[in-house]
């Protein structure tokens, strides 16, 4: 799975707890939210961050939390791993 770190918007800075939908978003810490997460079955050495997974995470977030300005969110970093 992959998580994506995005820069908080003015409105999203008001989020004070984890919000779960068909993904999730954490409250902003140091101006960044962690959103996620994707899930793919992969080979043990195949966990690499991918731009298309960032896009999936952002799409789910914008769909489920409209009005927070996430349509053009700035991706700061990504991390992929196994669960």
pLDDT digits (tens, 9 = 90+) for 27-74: 999 999 999 999 877 666 667 889 999 999 999 999 999 999 998 899
Q: What angle do CA 64, 69, 75 make, to 5 degrees?
A: 90
Judged by average pLDDT, the poorest of 1-10, 39-48, 71-80 is 39-48
Query: If phi over 0 gives left and psi between -120 and 50 gives alpha, with beta otherwise, what is residue 69?
Result: left
pTM listed for this prediction: 0.89
On the question of pLDDT at 83 being above 80, the answer is no
Count of positions (residues) in the chain: 83
The strand order across the sheet containing 19-20 reads 19-20, 24-25, 32-36, 2-7, 75-80
Distance CA 19, CA 42 (A): 27
């Amino acid at each position: 799975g992959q998580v994506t770190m995005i820069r908080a918007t003015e409105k999203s800075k008001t989020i004070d707890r984890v919000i779960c939908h068909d993904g999730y978003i954490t409250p902003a810490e140091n101006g960044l939210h962690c959103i996620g997460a994707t899930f793919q079955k992969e080979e043990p050495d195949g966990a690499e961050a991918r731009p298309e997974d960032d896009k999936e995470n952002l799409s789910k977030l914008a769909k489920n939390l409209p009005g927070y300005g996430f349509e053009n969110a700035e991706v700061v970093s990504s991390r992929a791993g196994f669960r």
